[in-house]
Amino acid sequence: MFDEMPERTRALKDRLEAFMEAEIYPNERALLEGPAGPGLWSPVPLLAKLQAKARAQGLWNLFWNHGPEGAGLSNYDYTHLCEVLGRSLAAPSVFNCNAPDVGNMEILAAYGTEAQKKTWLAPLLTAEIRSCFAMTEPGVASSDATNIETEIRRDGDHYVVTGRKWWTTGAMSDQCRVAIVMGKSDPSAPKHRAQSMILVPMDAPGVTIERPLTVYGYAHPPLGHAEITFDAVRVPTENMLLGEGRGFEIAQGRLGPGRIHHCMRFIGLAERALQILCQRAASRTAFGSRLSDMGGIRQVIGQSRCELEQARLVTLKAAWAMDRHGNKAARNEIAVAKIAVPSIVGTILDRAIQVHGGAGLSQDLFLAEAFAETRFLRIGDGPDEVHREALARAEIARHVAKVPA
């Protein structure tokens, strides 16, 4: 079913792997930890230097296929590259392929006006600024986005935005300049036409970052996750994306590709975890035997390889289907990957942590932070239960329709 990797993509992959070895892994801790104290949310100067190197080597905006600013790769092509850069949580920002900016750039490209693109998309493509996506709310079950209560009210030539959001990734960054906010613009409309999305500058009066949120204690600087209040924030009507009542349409256009990008990156994390699991098992002796000679450890390694190949194949299939049939038609394939990959990768990371003992729990290795990030995605971008429910409805409709009367 799958295509061979094109020669151009293979060459990019080779260059990307060389860059990871030379520049990312040696600097990983410095990039992830950032400066201490008040500078926690400022990118280390090293990041800009590495971004310049990546851009000079043609390893910039690899996800971007809309224009000359990117590599023009298909989803299937990008999957192979995203797996490589996903091996380190520090890497996506170096190549300008980090969430949530990737999804926000896609929104602006697909739905933004020329003025919105000039103001926000252009500097995002060059990493001059960062952005955030404000959808989830602490006061409602946001897995059902019809519950979202943030108000977007028309007032003359402005909209007034009032509400509280949290898990707004990217908002803590000193470079974050704009939020894409989802809120209710017409409570009387049908439930999937009541919501809109609007661009809110982070320096607008009434925008307050209340606190950073950690994931199992990890703050994930310099981007970070934030809880934010919007207190009667006034923004011009031209900041509305696509039009009132189009919020769900935009969300579906954004979240499908975003989900699969996460899966692509996590395949790389799992490959790296399995690699160091094997290296640890081969080098560590306990109770008179190498760990790699113990049957239980060998069973874990073999099972991890089986599961990782399954995760890779469902991710490749989803990317392949997106390229051929479009994101909407590929929604079931995307859902399968979104459900399966984080759980499989989390299990492999957990096994690698166990084999490393106390070291696996510490900041000396990438495993604990990667496990936290992976566990986050079983809730972020829609919890597993929501995707299983949607898949079940599709399966029932497909099979019941074929049952003879």
Residue ending a domain, choose from 212, 241, 270: 241
User: Considering only CA atoms, which of 237, 231, 12 is closest in space to residue 116?
Assistant: 237
Tell me how far apart the alpha carbons of residues 218 and 198 are, in angstroms, rounded to a whole number.
30
Residue 404: band (very low, low, confident or very high) from pLDDT cuts 50, 70, 90: low
Same domain as 391, residue 261: yes
Range of the domain at 170: 130-241
pLDDT at 397: 92
What average pLDDT score do residues 381-396 get? Answer: 93
Same domain as 353, residue 253: yes
Q: Is residue 159 included in any domain, yes or no?
A: yes
Same domain as 385, residue 278: yes
pTM: 0.94
The string of pLDDT tens digits covering residues 62-88 is: 999 887 888 899 999 999 999 999 999
Q: Are 148 and 137 in contact (CB under 8 A)?
A: yes
Residue ending a domain, choose from 241, 276, 299: 241
Same domain as 263, residue 220: no
Q: Which residues pair with 198 in a beta bridge?
A: 181, 240
Same domain as 267, residue 223: no
Q: Is residue 264 included in any domain, yes or no?
A: yes
Residue ending a domain, choose from 78, 98, 118: 98
The string of pLDDT tens digits covering residues 255-275 is: 777 889 999 999 999 999 999
pLDDT at 113: 98
Residue 102: band (very low, low, confident or very high) from pLDDT cuts 50, 70, 90: very high
pLDDT at 256: 73
Residue 252: band (very low, low, confident or very high) from pLDDT cuts 50, 70, 90: confident
Q: What sign does the dihedral 106-257-326-387 (CA atoms) show?
A: negative
Same domain as 255, residue 219: no
Q: Is residue 119 included in any domain, yes or no?
A: no
- Phi and psi of 134, rounded to 5°? -105, 100
Same domain as 297, residue 378: yes
pLDDT at 253: 79
What does pLDDT average to over the chain?
94
Same domain as 196, residue 225: yes
pLDDT for residue 25 is more than 80: yes
Same domain as 363, residue 328: yes
Q: What CATH code is carried by the domain that includes residue 85?
A: 1.10.540.10
Same domain as 260, residue 377: yes
- Which residue type does 255 have? L
Q: Are 255 and 103 in contact (CB under 8 A)?
A: yes
- Distance of alpha carbon 82 from the chain centroid: 11
Q: Are 392 and 384 in contact (CB under 8 A)?
A: no
Residue 328 CA: distances (Å) to CA of 253, 275, 284, 314? 8, 35, 48, 17
Q: What CATH code is carried by the domain that includes residue 324?
A: 1.20.140.10
Q: Is residue 147 included in any domain, yes or no?
A: yes
Q: Is residue 2 included in any domain, yes or no?
A: no
Reading the block at residue 201, the tokens are 């500058």
Give the angle subtended at the CA of 133 by the CAs of 129 and 138, to the nearest 5°: 135
What average pLDDT score do residues 301-315 get? Answer: 98
Q: Is residue 116 included in any domain, yes or no?
A: no
